[in-house]
Structure 1
Amino acid sequence: MYSSKFILICFGSLLFSASFNMLIPELPSYLASLGGAEYIGLIIALFTLTAGLSRPFSGRLTDTIGRRPVLIFGALVCLICGFFYPLLTTVYGFLLLRLFHGFSTGFTPTAASTFVSDVVPHQRLGEAMGIHGIAFSTGMAIGPAMGSFIKLHHSYEVLFHSSSLMAFLALLLMVNLKETLPQKQAFRWALLKISKSDIIAVEAMPASIVNFLAYTSLGVILTLIPDWTVAVGFANKGVFFIVFTVSSLVVRIIAGKISDRYGRSKVIMVGLVLLIIALTSIGYFNTKLGLLVGAGLYGFGMGVVTPAIHAWTIDLSQPGQKGKAMATMYISLEAGIGLAALISGWYYKEDVLRITHALYGCAILALMGMIYIVLWNRRLHH
C-alpha cells in the first residue's frame, strides 16, 4: 500500500498540472487577439526556456533546503500568473508573463519526482513513477478540456482566474506535506550560486538524451495540434489532449511495473516504437478518426516511455543527488519541448500541411532515440 504522503503528492501534482495546461489550447487564439499571431511558437518555447534554465537551481535546492519549499514555490508562480494574464494585455506583456510562468514547471515537478522516490520502496519505483505520472497526466487531460469549455461559455478572464484557483488548491495540498529530506539546510543566497558541476548530472545523461529525443514531439503537439484539431473538423481544441492522456493513464502503471521487472531500456524501446507509429499516423491520416487513433497511440507511447525514463534517471543518480539527476532529466525534456515548439511554430506559418512535416520529423528523432539505446546497451555490456 502507498502512504498518505504519496497520495497527497499525486493529487497536488494533478491540480498543479491542470492549472497551467488548461490555458494551452486557448493561448494561440488569445495571442492572436492581442495582435501577436506570428509569435505562436513562443507560447510554449518561452515557458520551457525558463523552466529549463531554472532546473539546476531547483535540483540543487531540492537536495539542500528540501522538497517541500521547491514544490510550494512552483505552485505559487502558477497562482500569481493566472491573475496577471488579464492585466498584461500587450503582446510583449503576454510573452514576458509566459517567460515568468515557466518557473512553475522548473521547480514543482523536480521536487515532486524526488519526493516520490523518497516515500516509496525502490523495488516499486517504476510503478510509483507510473502512478504519479497518471496524476500529472490527468491534469494534462482535464486541464485543456476544462480550459476550452470555460472559454466557450465564459471569457478569457474567467479562464485565467480558474487557472489560479487550480494552483491554489494544489498549494493547499503541498503545504500539508511533511519534508522528506533527512538533513535539510536553511535557505541562503549562496545556494543559488551554480557551478558547472551543479548544472548537469553527467551520470543521468543517457536517460536525458533519450528523453530529449522523445519529448521533441510534445513541443510540436502542444504548439500545432490545436490548429490541426480544428482543421480536421473538431470545435473543442482539447479533444486530442483528452484522448492522448486517457490512453496514457491506462498504460502507465503497467509499464512502470514491467520496467521494475524487466529493465528500463526494453520498456522505453517499446514506447518509442509506439510514438513513431502515432506521429506518422496523425500526419498521414488527416481525418477526425486519424487524429483520435493517433492521439490514443501517442498516449500509449508517452505512457510507456515516461515512468521508465523517470525511474531510469533515479537508477543512474548518485547518493544524495537525486534532485540534481531529476533536474538534468527535466532540462532535456524542456529543451526538447521548447526547441520543437520554437522551430515548428516558425516553420508552420499557418500552413496546415506543414504540420505533417513537423510530425514526421519528430518520428525520425524517436527512431534516433531507439538507435541510441541499442548503442548504449552494447557499450554497457562490453
Structure 2
Amino acid sequence: MRKPHSFFSLDFSLLCLSSFLFFASFNMIIPELPAYLDNMGGAEYKGLIISLFTLSAGLSRPFSGKLADKIGRIPVMMIGASVCFVVGLLYPLLSFVGGFLFLRFVHGFSTGFTPTGASAYVADLVPYQKRGEAMGLFSLFGSLGMAAGPAVGGYLATIFTIDTVFYVSAFTAIFSILILWRLKETLPRKEAISWKMLQLNRDEIIEKRVLVPSEILFLCCFSFGVVLTIIPDFSTYLGIANKGLFFGIFTLSSLGIRLLAGKTSDRFGRVPVMRAACFTLVCAMLLLGLSDSKVLMMCSGVLFGCAVGMYSPTTAAWVVDLSINEFRGRALATMYIFLEAGIGIGALASGFLFANNPENFQLVFFTSAGFAGLAFVALFFVRRSPVN
C-alpha cells in the first residue's frame, strides 16, 4: 500500500524509465536530420522536418485521448512506442526526399499516442496534493531522454553512419515497449477496441475546460519548434561540431527546476509559475538572438531549459486540475494538440523566415521571443488557478 498522498510506486518508476527510453528514441536522430536532408537535396524542406512530425502528432491526439479513456492507458502508450520502432527501421530504406518526409509524418503518430496515455496514467496514480510535483518528476525522465538522445545520436553519427543512429533509435523504442508490459492498467472500466471508437464527434476533439492553459502552452511551444529547426544550423554557423550540444544543455538545465516548479505550483498555484516561465523564455530567446559565441549560446540554452522545466509540468498539472476523471485522456490530448501546434507552426515559420540565410537568425529568434511575450502578458488576464 502506498502512503497517503504518495505517488512513489513500482509502476510509477517503471513508467518513468519507459518514458526516458521513448523520448531518447525519437530525439536521437533530430540533430542529424537537417544535414541528412541537405545531402538528399531537400534543403528547402527543413521546416517540414519538425512540422510534419508535429502535424501528425496533433491530428492523432483526439484519437489517442478517446482511446485512452476507452481501451486503457497502456495500449495507447504501446501504439506510440511501436511506431517509433517501425519507422526507425524504415528511414534507411526510404532515403530520398519524398520517402523521408513521409516517414517524418508517420513518425509523429508516436508522440501523438504515448505521451497522452502516459500523462493520463500518471494523473490516475497521483493524489491532487502532489500533482505538480509528480508531473515534474515524470517529465524529468522525459527530459533526460531528450538530453541523452541527441547526445548519443550525435556521438554515434561521428563514428558510424546515420543509418546506425536510425537503428539504435528503433531498438531503444523496443525496450520502452517491454517495460510497458509490466505495468498494471489504471483505467477502471476498459472497453474492447472497435472501429466505432475511431469516429469522432465534434465535442470529442477538444476539451473546452482546458483551453486556457492549452493556449498559453501553444504560445510557449512556438519557441520550441524554432529551437528544434534552427539550432543545428545555428550551431554550425558558430563553429560547434556537435549539433546536439545545445539540446543537451537546455534539457539538463530543465531537470533541476522541474521538481521545484511542480512543488511551487502545488503550493502557490499554476499561474504564478507560468508567468515566471514565460518571462524566462522571453529572456532566453532574446539572448539567443544576440549570441555571437558558443558561451552566449549555451547561456541562452540554460535559460531556455529553465523555462521549459517550469512550464511543462505546471501546464500538465493545471490541465488535470481543470479536467474531470471521465474525460481526462481527452483533456490531456487537447493540451498536446496545442503543444504540437505550437511546435509545428514554430518550426514551419522559422524555416520560412530563416530561408537558409544566416543573416536571418536574429529575426527568427526575436520572433519567437515575441510569442513568449504574448503568453506572459496573457497570463495577467488569467485568474490565479487553484491547485486542486
- TM-score, reference length from structure 2: 0.96
- Which residue of 110, 128, 136 corresponds with 2:116? 110
Q: Does structure 1 residue 287 correspond to structure 2 residue 299?
A: no
Q: Does structure 1 residue 180 correspond to structure 2 residue 199?
A: no
What is the one-letter code of the residue matched to 1:361?
T
Distance 2:172 2:292 in 1: 34
What is the one-letter code of the residue matched to 1:360?
F
1:278 is aligned to 284
Q: CA deviation at 1:285?
A: 2.3
Q: Contact 2:319/2:332 (CA < 8 Å) preserved in 1?
A: yes
Q: Contact 2:269/2:385 (CA < 8 Å) preserved in 1?
A: no
2:3 is aligned to none
Counterpart secondary structure, 2:339: helix
Distance 2:58 2:90 in 1: 22
What is the one-letter code of the residue matched to 1:201?
E
Counterpart secondary structure, 1:176: coil
2:336 is aligned to 330
Q: CA deviation at 1:379?
A: 11
Q: CA deviation at 1:319?
A: 2.9
Q: CA deviation at 1:378?
A: 8.1
Distance 1:373 1:271 in 2: 11
- Which residue of 294, 300, 304 corresponds with 2:306? 300
Distance 1:48 1:175 in 2: 27
Q: 5 Å matches for 1:54-203?
A: 54-203=60-209
Q: CA deviation at 1:318?
A: 2.1
1:223 is aligned to 229
List per-residue Cα deviations over 1:179-209 (Å, max 9, x = no partner). Answer: 0000111101100000110110001000100
Q: Contact 2:250/2:301 (CA < 8 Å) preserved in 1?
A: yes
Counterpart secondary structure, 1:271: helix
Q: CA deviation at 1:50?
A: 0.3
What is the one-letter code of the residue matched to 2:38?
A
- Listed as ranges, the gaps of 5+ residues in structure 1 are none
- The sequence identity of aligned pairs, in percent, is 46
Distance 1:31 1:230 in 2: 15
Distance 1:124 1:254 in 2: 12
Q: 5 Å matches for 1:209-288?
A: 209-288=215-294
Distance 1:290 1:352 in 2: 17
Distance 2:261 2:339 in 1: 20
Q: Contact 2:22/2:145 (CA < 8 Å) preserved in 1?
A: yes
Cα RMSD of the aligned pairs, angstroms, is 1.2
Distance 2:74 2:91 in 1: 27
Q: Does structure 1 residue 3 correspond to structure 2 residue 34?
A: no
Runs of 4+ in 1 over 3 A off after TM superposition: none
Counterpart secondary structure, 1:26: helix
What is the one-letter code of the residue matched to 1:189?
W
Distance 1:154 1:322 in 2: 43
Distance 1:3 1:353 in 2: 51
Q: CA deviation at 1:370?
A: 1.6
Q: CA deviation at 1:114?
A: 0.6
- TM-score, reference length from structure 1: 0.98
Counterpart secondary structure, 2:228: helix
Q: CA deviation at 1:352?
A: 1.7
